[in-house]
Each structure stands twice: as structure tokens, then as C-alpha cells.
Amino acid sequence: MKFNGQEFLNENVFRKLNEMKAFHPGLIEAEAASRVRPGFPHKRLVFAAADHNARMISEYKGNPIGLSNRREYLTRLVRILTSDSVDGIEATPDIIEDLMLINRIRREEGEKEFLKGKMLVGTVNRGGLKNTVWEMDDMPACFTVKRIKKLNMDGVKFMIRLNPMDERSKYTLQYCADTINEAEEYGLPVFIEALYVETADKGFVMKTDSESLCKVVGVVGALGCTGANKWIEVPLNEEYHVPVSATTCPVLVVPDEAESEPEAVIREYTKEIGIADHIRGILLGRNVMYNESDPLPIAEAIASKWHMA
């Protein structure tokens, strides 16, 4: 069945959201202060990933602005997060704050609080905007660790793109190390997306061969003042046991996002289960969130399989 977002979150919700943001911005911190941090809901984690647009990644399935409609983007996120099996979300400040306010609106309307029991992980660096001349200088441009702590959130997200032939990549390594050190002071877990890229004729190409992934996973594992409380997000490849063997940190799978049909998507997101004990979950990508059918049962099926493993 095709998902009808207009019926799921109506115009009134977004009218109230806009009024709150315009005239009552203090409600964000009030909502944050009242939330109960859930710890780790399960021994394996299934997160929605929602930080695409902040790095000028708005294309989906040939549509250059396929992810740009913010009402649709938020509606699909809320739909996924209504599942008790989905453990949380990684997102930028605009998304997290909007979700907090929508959660408040739904509570006031007598609806289920979709953020209750969810981990909220704040994305720190989105400054390496896609197809810009400074793209490899992926600077912190979103959440600060201090703000994540102030909003009573649960973790810190950082992305490393290691490019051996681009000097700007070294700055991102330092930004990441600094973020890990600050998160350690606040006692917050850090989720680091570990990518290996090479310079191409047009932009950069991500490498997912085992040698490249082993190298970047090894670097990420050693960054910062501690290896504790560090989760590494590793892109999927055909011999996944090899790159994940490069660390003892818990691993979250970064999927291919290759499939479209619901059953095929579920298989794509669960085939990694059992490869290694320290693979402890997966990120739900765009082919779940923007599936033409209802994203909720797809997300629930994936999360349930991970939690039963």
C-alpha cells in the first residue's frame, strides 16, 4: 500500500510547528529537559539516518530535489519512529528540533509520543558540502557536543571521509579527534561513519573494497583519547567479515540502498546478521524512508529481525 503522508501528519501539525518555531522557540529546550534518556534500548541498534540535506545531498532516484520537501521528509521520519522496534535517529539540529516539537504537538493531541524511548544522536560535521571546492574539509557545521548535552540527547555522530591524496582530509581527522575528546568529557557515545574515498574526474568516489575499508576502520578506531564508547559505521561490501575484523568496536552497517521492492529491501538490510558478534545494528537508509509503499512495516520487519538475532 502506498503511504499517504497527508493523512498521517495533517496540515494542522505543520501550522502549529511553524508557530512554535516563530514565536515559542524556548519550547525546544523545555521539551528536551523533560525527556527521559533511554540508554541503549536494545543490544543491537536500528537507527533512522536523517542528515542528508545538510550536505547538499537532496537527490533521490533521479530526482535532484527528491529529499528536499521538508514536510514529506519529516512525515516519513515520524512514521518510521512510531515503531517501538526502531531505536532512534541520527540527525542534524533542524531535524531533531522539529521532531521534538512535533512530538509535543502529537502528545497534546492525545497521540503516541514517537520519541519516547528513542536515542537521539546529533550530527556534528556536515560542512563538506557535496561538489564544492572544499568538500574534503568536512568541518563541524551542525551540532556541538555541548548543545547535544544541553538538549539531553544520547550520542554524537561524525563522518570521516579519508582521502589519501587530498590534504584537506587531514583537517577532518583532527575535527573528529577533537569531537571524540569532547564527547568523552561529557560521557557521550560517538558514532563515526568511516568512509574511504578517492578523487575522480568529477568529485569523489567511495571505495568499499576490503583493503580500503580496513584502512579507514583502523584509523577511526585509534582517533581521539579513547576507543571506548565508540561505534563505527562501516559501509557494506561483499566480504563484510573482513573490514569489520579491523576493529573490536561495535559496528553499525551502512547499507547499499540498492533495492526498491519491500521484501528485497528487508533482505538487503538483514543479510549481515550473524557475520560477526560485534556487528550491533544498522542504519535505515533512503530506500526504507522513501519507499513507495509504507516505510513503517519495512522498518519494523528489519528492526525486529535484528533484535531477535
Write out pLDDT tens, residues 238-297.
Answer: 999 999 999 999 999 999 999 999 999 999 999 999 999 999 999 999 999 999 999 999
**Position 63 pLDDT exceeds 90:** yes
61: amino acid identity, one letter: K
pLDDT at position 294: 95
pLDDT digits (tens, 9 = 90+) for 69-101: 999 999 999 999 999 999 999 999 999 999 999
Percent of the chain with pLDDT strictly greater than 90: 96
**Position 1 pLDDT exceeds 80:** no
pLDDT digits (tens, 9 = 90+) for 164-194: 999 999 999 999 999 999 999 999 999 999 9
CATH class for the domain made up of 5-308 = alpha beta
The model carries a pTM of: 0.97
**Position 20 pLDDT exceeds 80:** yes
* Number of C-beta neighbours around residue 223 at 10 A: 22
Instruction: Measure the CA–CA gap between 258 and 151, rounded to whole angstroms.
Output: 35
Percent of the chain with pLDDT strictly greater than 70: 100
**Position 309 pLDDT exceeds 90:** no
Residue 265 makes CB contacts below 8 A (sequence gap 6+) with 259, 287, 288, 291, 298, 302
pLDDT at position 2: 83
Spell out the domain ranges in the chain.
5-308
Q: Which of 209, 280, 213, 208 is nearest to 246 (CA)?
A: 213
Confidence of residue 39 (pLDDT cuts 50, 70, 90): very high
pLDDT at position 48: 98
pLDDT at position 201: 87
pLDDT at position 203: 84
pLDDT at position 290: 95
